[in-house]
Amino acid sequence: MHVGISSAHKVMPIMTALLQRYPHLLALSASSPWWGGEDTGYASNRAMMFQQLPTAGLPFHFQTWAEFEGFVYDQKKTGIIDHMDEIRWDIRPSPHKGTLEVRICDGVSNLRELAALVALTHCLVVDLDRRLEAGETLPNMPPWHVQENKWRAARYGLDAVIILDADSNERLVTGDLIDVLNRLEPVAKSLHCADELASVADIPRLGRRISGSVGWPRSMTETCVLWSTR
């Protein structure tokens, strides 16, 4: 998902702050528990597999656009990459498009769920942009918390207890998601995607209802069928 950013100097603060919501996006979309026909025990095994590529996974923390440009220069000079699109981070700048590309989500099986996650991502980025424009210092979680949150969301999905901030406070991801959606409601209205954002709350509610009635192995298939009829 690409979200436009109005100025290069905003990209790094927004990218870093967005990592605070990484587990929400991954937990909501987690859909790859199997590998080679075996249950891995992960809600999103795909997230764990893909990060093994040397230029994939979580982004480094940069303070300024100039630092990022220096990183890209080093990568090209040493032959690690030839082009920018070979940096395959879960969130990455796309300078040729003027966007921040958010690649956190696992596979999504239906249009309604896709629209919900697009709305959530769009609102998160725009909210951070507006807060930055208003002079607010955006949150900056320690990289070790960000890394732990990715693992927890990949392992436990919507049952993950995530780290909320630099003070190491914790909360169930679905509980924090409610507060996030409430905060973003005015942003969604201004972007004309209030209905899509509101449907984010349906993802855990419907998923858990199905899982409880048919069990985890069948719940993913049943969820796809249910969403396709709505």
pLDDT tens digit sequence for 78-104? 999 999 999 999 999 999 899 999 999
pLDDT at 145 over 70: yes
pLDDT digits (tens, 9 = 90+) for 187-205: 999 999 999 999 999 999 8
pLDDT digits (tens, 9 = 90+) for 108-119: 989 999 999 999
What whole-number percentage of the chain has pLDDT above 70?
A: 90
pLDDT at 224 over 80: no
The mean pLDDT of 48-72, rounded to a whole number, is 94
Asked if residues 152 and 47 have their Cβ atoms less than 8 Å apart, the reply is no
Lowest-confidence pick of 4-13, 88-97, 221-230: 221-230
**pTM, entire model:** 0.90
Task: Give just the sign of the alpha carbon dihedral 100, 137, 132, 64.
Answer: negative
The span from the CA of 16 to the CA of 120, in Å, is 17
Report the 10 Å Cβ neighbour count for 1.
18
Domains, the chain: 2-197 (3.30.590.20)
